[in-house]
Amino acid sequence: MFSVGDEVVHRVHGAGIITGKKERQLTETSNRYFVIEIPGFDSTLMVPTDKAGQCLRPVSKMATLRRLLTDILTGQPNKLHKDYKEREKQIGSKLKSGEPKKWIEVVRDLTHRQEQGWKSKVDQRLLDRTMHLLAGEFALAQGIDPEKAESRLAFIVEHPHEFKDQQASTGWLRTLVQRIMRPFTESETQATADAR
């Protein structure tokens, strides 16, 4: 399912690149592990190859992340539990899912909570953690460094409606360019076929 060179997301630790495989002897059994480098940090993660399907997934495509960011950030926030311990559990289960959709929901809901004047250290820690997870995946999907991804993501979170408008106009422009170019592409294909 996974191999060296794959860009993956660990459900808990975030995005990384499989850089190799190692065999380690633990007690009497020998296990094979994927070695995963986490970009932007000097950290390495080792995941048993036979458990990789349970805790790893491929990095999302940028188009998918853009759509999720647009749809979720401009959507209605979910109500979070008032008790910080219950809220931490509620958010923790979404973070452990490893799904970008749930991570983006956490960012939206905590940001909304802060905008309403409810700020706590626990909420800020959870928001920072979630932004970090998203930025790692965003960086690999877009091929940029994690710090740049984090600043772009922060801008999108602060200006979700502008981002949505930009995505809509970009999509419209892309469609227009494709429609304009299609006759040329079709005529070039026909000319090549005629020349044969």
Interatomic CA distance for residues 182 and 176, integer angstroms: 10
Closest CA to 104 of 94, 119, 90: 94
Fold match flag (7-58 vs 62-158): no
Span 27-70, pLDDT tens digits: 666 589 999 999 876 789 999 998 899 999 999 999 999 899 88
Q: Is residue 121 over pLDDT 60?
A: yes
Q: How far is CA 76 from the centre of its chain?
A: 21
CATH code for the part of the protein at 62-158: 1.20.58.1290
Q: Domain map of the chain by residue range?
A: 7-58, 62-158
Q: Are 160 and 74 in contact (CB under 8 A)?
A: yes
String of DSSP letters for the chain:
---TT-EEEETTTEEEEEEEEEEEEETTEEEEEEEEEETTTTEEEEEEGGGHHHHEEEPPPHHHHHHHHHHHHTSPPPPPPSSHHHHHHHHHHHHHH--HHHHHHHHHHHHHHHHTT---HHHHHHHHHHHHHHHHHHHHHHT--HHHHHHHHHHHHH-HHHHHHHHHHHHHHHHHHHHHHHHHHHHHHHHHHHH-
Span 74-104, pLDDT tens digits: 889 998 988 889 999 999 999 999 999 999 9
CATH code for the part of the protein at 7-58: 2.40.10.170
Interatomic CA distance for residues 192 and 196, integer angstroms: 7
Span 132-179, pLDDT tens digits: 999 999 999 999 988 898 888 888 888 777 777 776 666 544 554 555
pLDDT at 184: 47
Per the structure block, which two tokens stand in for 94? 């979404």
Residues contacting residue 127 through CB under 8 Å, at least 6 positions apart: 106, 107, 110, 111, 114
Q: Is residue 183 over pLDDT 60?
A: no
pLDDT at 28: 63
Among 112-121, 125-134, 179-188, the range with the most confident prediction by mean pLDDT is: 125-134
Report the Cα–Cα distance between both ends of the chain, in Å, rounded.
42
Strand partners, 38: 43
Interatomic CA distance for residues 56 and 54, integer angstroms: 6
Interatomic CA distance for residues 114 and 109, integer angstroms: 9
Q: Are 96 and 12 in contact (CB under 8 A)?
A: yes
